[in-house]
Amino acid sequence: MDNSRWTSGQIPRLDGKIILITGASSGLGLEASTILSAKGAKVIMAVRNLEKGKTAAAAITSKIKNADIELMQLDLSDFSSIHKFSEEFHGKYANLNILINNAGVMYPRTREITKQGFETHFGTNHLGHFLLTGLVLDVLKNTPQSRVVTQSSALHKYGGDIHFDDLNMEKTYSKAKAYAQSKLANLLFAYELDRRFKTQKQDSISTASHPGYTATALQRSQGLLVAAANKFIAQRIEIGTLPVLRAATEENLAGSEYFGPTKWLETRGYPQIVNSSDKSYDAGLAKELWEVSEKLTGFSYNF
Ligand SMILES: NC(=O)c1ccc[n+]([C@@H]2O[C@H](COP(=O)([O-])OP(=O)(O)OC[C@H]3O[C@@H](n4cnc5c(N)ncnc54)[C@H](OP(=O)(O)O)[C@@H]3O)[C@@H](O)[C@H]2O)c1
Question: What does the alpha-carbon distance between residue 238 and residue 31 come to, in Å, rounded to a whole number?
Answer: 7
37 Cβ closer than 6 Å to some ligand 1 atom: no
Question: What does the alpha-carbon distance between residue 249 and residue 38 come to, in Å, rounded to a whole number?
Answer: 13
Q: Which of ligand 1's atoms lies nearest the C-alpha of 234?
A: 3
Strand-pairing partners, residue 18, are 42
Question: What does the alpha-carbon distance between residue 64 and residue 62 come to, in Å, rounded to a whole number?
Answer: 6
Report the interhelical angle of 242-249 vs 27-38 (nearest 10°).
50
Asked if the model's pLDDT at residue 3 lies above 80, the reply is no
Q: 55-71 burial, b if ≥16 CB within 10 A, otherwise e?
A: ebbeebeeebeebebeb
Q: 97-129 burial, b if ≥16 CB within 10 A, otherwise e?
A: bbbbbbbbbbbeeeebebeeebbbbbbbbbbbb
Nearest CA to ligand 1 atom 48: 211
Ligand 1 pocket: which of 52, 77, 105 to mutate (most atoms within 8 A of CB): 105
Asked if the model's pLDDT at residue 191 lies above 90, the reply is yes
Hey, is 302 helix, strand or coil? coil
Q: What count of Cα atoms within 13 Å lies in the side-chain half-sphere of residue 166?
A: 8
Using the Cα atoms of residue 274, residue 285, residue 180 and residue 22 in order, give the sign of their dihedral.
positive
> How do residues 266-298 score in pLDDT, each as one tens digit?
999 999 999 999 999 999 999 999 999 999 999
CA distances to 43, 50, 157 from 38, rounded to whole Å, are: 10, 22, 34
213 Cβ closer than 6 Å to some ligand 1 atom: yes
175 Cβ closer than 6 Å to some ligand 1 atom: no
**Average pLDDT score over residue span 179-202:** 98
> How do residues 218-267 score in pLDDT, each as one tens digit?
866 677 777 777 777 899 999 999 999 999 999 999 999 999 999 999 99
Question: What does the alpha-carbon distance between residue 11 and residue 7 come to, in Å, rounded to a whole number?
Answer: 8
The predicted structure's pLDDT at residue 223: 75
> How do residues 17-75 score in pLDDT, each as one tens digit?
999 999 999 999 999 999 999 999 999 999 999 999 999 999 999 999 999 999 999 99
75 Cβ closer than 6 Å to some ligand 1 atom: yes
pLDDT-derived band at 2 (thresholds 50, 70, 90) equals low
Rounded percentage of the chain residues whose pLDDT exceeds 70:
98
The predicted structure's pLDDT at residue 161: 97
Q: Which of ligand 1's atoms lies nearest the C-alpha of 25?
A: 43
**CA–centroid distance for 67 within its chain:** 22
The predicted structure's pLDDT at residue 221: 66
**CATH code for the domain defined by 13-297:** 3.40.50.720
Question: What does the alpha-carbon distance between residue 44 and residue 24 come to, in Å, rounded to a whole number?
Answer: 9
Would you state the torsion angle of the CA atoms of residues 86, 255, 106, 115, taken in this order, to the nearest 10 degrees?
A: 30
242 Cβ closer than 6 Å to some ligand 1 atom: no
**Average pLDDT score over residue span 111-115:** 98
Q: Which of ligand 1's atoms lies nearest the C-alpha of 215?
A: 1
Question: What are the backbone angles phi and psi of residue 163, rounded to the nearest 5°?
Answer: -95, 80
**CA–centroid distance for 169 within its chain:** 22
Question: What are the backbone angles phi and psi of residue 262, rounded to the nearest 5°?
Answer: -115, -10
Q: What is the largest CA-CA distance in the chain?
A: 52
Domain boundaries, the chain: 13-297
Contact assessment for residue 146 and residue 140, using Cβ atoms and an 8 Å cutoff: yes
Question: pTM of the prediction?
Answer: 0.97
**Residue at 188: amino acid letter:** L
The predicted structure's pLDDT at residue 229: 74
The average confidence (pLDDT) of the chain is 96
**Average pLDDT score over residue span 151-177:** 96
Helix ranges (DSSP H) in the chain: 27-38, 50-63, 79-92, 120, 129-135, 137-141, 175-199, 223-232, 237-240, 242-249, 283-297
